[in-house]
Amino acid sequence: MYSINKVSSKEAQQLIETAVSEAEKINKSISVAICGPEGELISFLRMDGASPAASRIAQNKAYTSACDRKSTREMGEFMQGKNRPAAYWGDEKITGFGGGLAIIIGGKIIGGIGVSGLSEEEDEHIANAAIKSVYL
């Protein structure tokens, strides 16, 4: 059973464990961050070998997807389509790099997950696999 209002610390750990397992299957290293619906960090892990930049990017992806209630890929497409750079929001954490997903249960945002270190498609695939493993 999952929490109703926000990702619990236990769920956050399960999400991270699944993301790491998915990255290990392809012999890659990632950073993964989980936040609550307000964008506050709940849990974070940087695998050995993951780039230092991936740490901040993963956290920003989790934050963006939770606060803006959409995937970071969608956010990036919105920014490009409207010619609005991330600075438009006045929030240095907003990012449009794919790999961040809102965690939605029963139509309600309970948090966000951000994965960074691989291609945007691989990051998003891993984030999606983690959500499915914990909430489906």
Question: Considering the domain boundaries, does residue 2 fall inside one?
Answer: no
Structural domain count, the chain:
1
Instruction: Give tens-digit pLDDT for 56-86.
Output: 999 999 999 999 999 999 998 888 877 776 6
CATH number at residue 32: 3.30.450.150
Question: Considering the domain boundaries, does residue 125 fall inside one?
Answer: yes
Question: Considering the domain boundaries, does residue 55 fall inside one?
Answer: yes
Residues spanned by the domain of 14: 9-135
Question: Considering the domain boundaries, does residue 72 fall inside one?
Answer: yes
Identify residue 98 by its one-letter amino acid code.
G
For the sheet containing 100-105, what is the strand order? Answer: 41-46, 31-35, 108-116, 100-105
Question: Considering the domain boundaries, does residue 1 fall inside one?
Answer: no
> Running DSSP on this structure, what letter comes out for residue 38?
T
| pLDDT mean across residues, the chain | 93
pTM of the model: 0.92
Residue pair 58/115 in contact by the 8 Å Cβ criterion: yes
CA nearest neighbour of 20 among 5, 34, 32: 32
- Reported confidence tier of residue 19, pLDDT bands at 50, 70, 90: very high
Instruction: Give tens-digit pLDDT for 84-118.
Output: 766 667 788 989 999 999 999 999 999 999 999 99
Question: Considering the domain boundaries, does residue 68 fall inside one?
Answer: yes
